[in-house]
Chains A and B, each alone.
Chain A
Amino acid sequence: MMRRGYARAAASCLLLALLAGCKTTENLVKEISGEQTYEGFSGRFIEVAPSRLMKDGGESPMIAAAEALGGRLAGADMTYGLGGKVRRAEGEGGVRVEGGEPLEDYMVRILGTLLEPWREERPDLQVRLTPDLDFRAETDKDGVITVSLGVFLQCESEDELAFILAHEASHALLRHHESNRYNEAQKRLTDITANTLAVVLSKRDSKNADSRTLNLNAWGMVEAYQVMQTTIFDPAWNREQEDEADLLAVDLITAAGYNNSVYQIVLERLHLADERRAAEQEAERKEVEKRITAVMESGHVVEGFGMALNQMFKAPTAIVGHVVAEAGSDHPSAEGRENNLTGYVVREIDTLGDSAALPLRVDAYEKQILHGKGGKLLAKHVYVQRAGVLIEEGDLAAARKLLLGLLNGPKDTNAVVRYKLYQLYEKEGSPDKAMANLELAAKDRRAPVKVFTALIEAHGRNGDWQRALAGLDAMDARFGRRRGNLPLRLEFLLQDGRLKEAQQVMTECRASQNRDTVAGCNAAWSQHTKPSMRKASL
């Protein structure tokens, strides 16, 4: 009896030590004390940064053990955006804007200057310009920094752009993808061990009242730990990585002779972009809800349900091209990041102060974005954006004039302009013209995912299942086969009566082991194979 008591106590202590140990305690203390990242070191960050680098990222025994127990760690797959970590949709790598080379070269030149003071190993960095008009920049695990056209349009000086590039490059220089993977390995091993210990404790003499209390305590501890993991440890980890990238960015732009006070502007722009994005998403959600409710209320309950179901199927493809699942509420706030940077710069004001007195490089920046090929590219996107606003406002004639003026003749396949013309003609009620423009847009080798999504949906609406499937094939050929498209493919095949191919897709769905994909495929399958449908098909 006594020995059992000791064993339970020992197991409990081990569980407690495990849950409270490692990096988590450090994060907890930081979170509770409100300590800023810059307070964890003295002097300039660029001087202490090498000591904070992950030395054995890919080779760590901890990573090997975690992967052996639970499969591949996804930690390194995260993309570092300006606002924090983001998980990209499957196959989404950011379409490169056509004709963006002059602006990409400009960014490469800035990056070259920024990296000069970095004495540690430099990853192979690449720069890619995307047609996104949102304020967005990201770094992926391969060192590809994507910067949206929106960044160029909103920024007003080279200093701002330099800070953004420096921040993104810093994630790569600081090997955050590696440390992220290490952190995930640590978390996985803790979870597995804690769960195993909790199971062991819960199996001991469950009839005994003391043991039952202990069981509850063990599971309670594990549950509490998991709650703390998502609410405290993960956000603290993410915040620290963003703070580190900010701190190094300030040091890099200072060394390169830029005005380092621009971090304030960039973070403010980021905050505005976040607000705008949230408002747009909310408006979009309300619009879809309104349409479904309207159909339901008109008595077409089945059709309304079908729309809701379609919306569910469409979701994986419709949102490709955007961030699917941002790290959510654990994104470090722009205000918190600004406080950290201001605290740091003010503490190191003797060496960092003079940089903030320098004139901003506005002329050099305007030369790049207003003139030459780069200027032409940006102007085209601004006018297309303007046409979009005119379409929304209902001034279709003005929008048409603007868009047609941007094309080089009737054979021009420019996807950005053609897609906007498609939206215009849809609103105008000219489906043939709309479709013609969409098909031209799909011929553009740089056409984004949304062009294919719209094309597939349009064919689906017309009941032209073969062309809808051809659209899906073209999309897969361009962007790689995506499991998120499987429910839609299944739906079209079933609609077209191609049962054998549908069965193959169903098998592919199940093999994907993705919950959403499997659920989508099951729903499509059951809808099309219900008795009435079977009867009709017979």
Chain B
Amino acid sequence: MGYFKQASAAVGLALWLVSSAQAGEAVLVKAYHPDGEGRVLAYDDAGKRIGKIPVGTLPKPEFEAAGYDARSRRVKVHAADGDVWLLAIQVETSVRVHDKTDCDLIKNMSLKQAGKSSSDGAPRIVRGLGDGGCR
């Protein structure tokens, strides 16, 4: 019985982690911030400016974005003439920043340094103290 409970808890935890990760990936477009003429700037996949397009040619919020580039915070949407990338300042999304806890910071430091060699100047302190009891 004890084993069953433990196994159930482990499966539950795994499912919760998966669903959390999935929930974290979905980016919703909530509103547009167009210019005075009702248009937003659009970019192609290579990051080149296409020009301004009317928000009328874009899906009506709220909807799931076709993509999200965390490195530039741009949002991909299906426009009438094909997919375009929009700027974070002209698209309000569901992406929110999170207050990092001490464990988030330790995990981040450990993960980022895991692949580095000891000669990269990474602080030894992280390797020496491990996860600080964060599990």
Contact = CB atoms under 8 A, between A and B. Distances in A.
Given A153-B105, A261-B87, A357-B87, A362 B71 contact: yes
B128 A405 contact: yes
Interface stretch (B7-15, B17-25, B95-103): B95-103
B67 to A, nearest CB: 14
B109 interface: yes
A203 interface: no
Nearest to A361: B71
Chain A interface mostly: helix
A286 interface: no
19 contacts: A154-B99, A272-B99, A342-B89, A346-B89, A353-B87, A353-B89, A356-B72, A357-B47, A357-B87, A358-B72, A359-B72, A360-B72, A366-B112, A371-B120, A375-B122, A382-B102, A382-B106, A383-B106, A386-B106
Interface size class of B (residues with CB under 8 A): 35 or more
Given A265-B97, A357-B85, 4 more contacts: A259-B73, A382-B105, A383-B106, A386-B133
A345 B133 contact: no
A376 interface: yes
A359 B128 CA distance: 34
Contacts of A370: 109, 112-113, 122-123
Given A268-B97, A359-B72, A360-B71, A406 B125 contact: yes
A402 B41 contact: no
Nearest to A273: B99
A261 B89 contact: yes
Interface in B66-93: 71-74, 85, 87-90
Contact of A349 (B35, B103, B122, B133): B35
Nearest to A366: B112
Contacts of A272: 97-99
Interface string A364-399: 001000111001101110110111111000010010
A265 B72 CA distance: 12
A459 interface: no
A153 B100 contact: yes
Interface of B: 33-36, 41, 43, 47, 49, 71-74, 85, 87-90, 96-103, 105-106, 109, 112-113, 116, 120-126, 128-129, 132-134
A532 to B, nearest CB: 50
Interface of A: 153-154, 259-262, 264-265, 268-269, 272-273, 276, 342, 345-347, 349, 353-354, 356-360, 362, 366, 370-372, 375-376, 378-380, 382-383, 385-390, 395, 398, 402, 405-406
A356 B88 contact: yes
A390 B134 CA distance: 10
Given A259-B72, A356-B87, A371-B121, A349 B105 contact: no
A386 B36 contact: no
A386 B108 CA distance: 14
Contacts of A154: 99-100
A264 B89 contact: yes
Contacts of A362: 71
Contacts of A264: 88-89
A342 B90 CA distance: 8
Contacts of A378: 109
A259 B89 CA distance: 11
Nearest to A382: B105
Contact of A376 (B88, B97, B125): B125
A388 B34 CA distance: 46
Nearest to B88: A261
Contact of B109 (A273, A345, A379, A390): A379
Nearest to B112: A370
Given A259-B72, A345-B89, A383-B106, A269 B132 contact: no
A354 B43 CA distance: 9
B96 A385 contact: no
Contact of B133 (A357, A380, A390, A406): A390
Nearest to B87: A356
A382 B41 contact: no
B102 A371 contact: no
In order of increasing CB-CB distance, the 4 nearest A-B pairs are: A376-B123, A386-B102, A261-B88, A356-B87
Contacts of A380: 125
Contact of A357 (B49, B101, B105, B121): B49
Nearest to A154: B100
A167 B112 CA distance: 29
